[in-house]
Structures are given as structure tokens and as C-alpha cells.
A and B are shown apart, each in its own frame.
Chain A
Amino acid sequence: DAKTTQPTSMDCAEGRAANLPCNHSTISGNEYVYWYRQIHSQGPQYIIHGLKNNETNEMASLIITEDRKSSTLILPHATLRDTAVYYCIVRVDGGSQGNLIFGKGTKLSVKP
């Protein structure tokens, strides 16, 4: 099972900031929070990841609470092309897998 909880869907007006929340209350100390998105008919696209500090890149910002039990992905100026399913993932610890366990994600709809 996924170790994260996200809202099923969200709407955002074009040009406004989109704030996507994620709860990961059982996260371990050495587990990173990753965000991916999937646009219809494409593979998942890496957005950003972080451990405990806030992170920013050309696509988005990631805000992680001090207790690391939740995080928010921020798309500062959403466009119609940002309409996608957004996945918040905690990188699985242990073993040789290092794979990502994807949950159902949040379907973000950016509206004109």
C-alpha cells in the first residue's frame, strides 16, 4: 500500500498557484518525498523531491513540514498544460528495490 494520502481531485484557475497537499505521517527519517505527474497517455514525469528542507526548481516548489508528516507541492502559475494526475510518493526504504510505490494521486484540473 502507498504510504501517502492525497485528495482525489482538485481544480485550479489558470495563472493561479496550485497547492497540492500530501500526508505521509509514517515517513521514516531517511525516506525522501517525491512528486511525479502523469499527463494522459504519457509516462510519469519527475517533478521534484526532498528530504526535510524546502526545495525549488524550474517546475515547482516543495514545502515539507518540520515534522515531515506532510508536504505541499506548489505550481506557482498553473497553465492548462499542468492538468494531470499528481503523485506524492515516499521512497521505500530497505531491500534492493528502491522502487516507488504509487498511490492513486490527485487529479489536478486547470481551468481557463
Chain B
Amino acid sequence: GAGVSQSPSNKVTEKGKDVELRCDPISGHTALYWYRQSLGQGLEFLIYFQGNSAPDKSGLPSDRFSAERTGGSVSTLTIQRTQQEDSAVYLCASSLLQSSYNSPLHFGNGTRLTVT
């Protein structure tokens, strides 16, 4: 079946502009995660959605970052007033079950964001 889909695959924006990144999780997956990966670095957790529960926003680096998940499916990560340090690959993942340590995360191929 289809995996996690992210769009756009690449985004170049000017400093100060807002951007929206989209994630389509695997159908039926109730949990959705956003990570980012800077060049040559590991993955940094940003935010986690589970069903209708309030999202865990503990990883968001500033109030310029926000995310929403509509209808328990598609998610949008929004970065306002982008800065050059926001340049990174933004990865979305989904998993089948809530907080189940026996439920693997499946990742998309990410959106490469470049802020000029």
C-alpha cells in the first residue's frame, strides 16, 4: 500500500516568508509525528499527534512553528517568518497504534526546506 507522502519534496523560500509543509500519513494510522534533520545531523523531534488528543508540542523550537492535523489524517506544519536556521529536511512519520512500543513508525522522504 501507499506509504507516508510529503509535499513539496523541495521548497526554497526567502527569509521572513511563511511556509506550509504537508504530510499524508498511511491510511488508518492514528499517530503522526514531525521531525527535522539538519545537514549531517540526527533527527530532532518536533511534534506528535494521536487521535483527538491534544498534540505533544514539546519539540517545537519556537512559537514560529505550528502544526495541525485535520480530520485525524492530513497534517500541515507551518513555519512563520522563516529564518536561515530553519533550513533542514522536515520528516513526517505515522504509526498504527497510540504509544505502543510495538508499533513501528513509518517515515516519508521529507521536505527539503532552504531559506535564502
**Which A positions have Cβ atoms within 8 angstroms of B?**
2, 30-32, 34, 41-46, 49, 51, 87, 91, 93, 95-105
Contacts and interface: CB of A to CB of B under 8 A. Distances in A.
A105 to B, nearest CB: 7
Interface string B56-91: 101100000000000000000000000000000001
Interface of B: 4, 31, 33, 35, 42-43, 45, 48, 50, 53, 56, 58-59, 91, 93, 95, 98-102, 104-110
13 contacts: A2-B42, A31-B101, A43-B4, A43-B108, A44-B43, A46-B104, A97-B56, A97-B58, A98-B95, A98-B98, A98-B100, A98-B101, A99-B45
Given A43-B109, A43-B110, A101-B45, A96 B100 contact: no
Contacts of B43: 44, 100, 102
A80 B4 CA distance: 25
Given A32-B102, A44-B107, A46-B106, A96 B45 contact: no
Q: Which 5 A-B pairs have the closest CB atoms?
A: A43-B107, A98-B99, A102-B43, A91-B101, A46-B104
A96 B56 contact: yes
Contact of A98 (B31, B107, B109, B110): B31
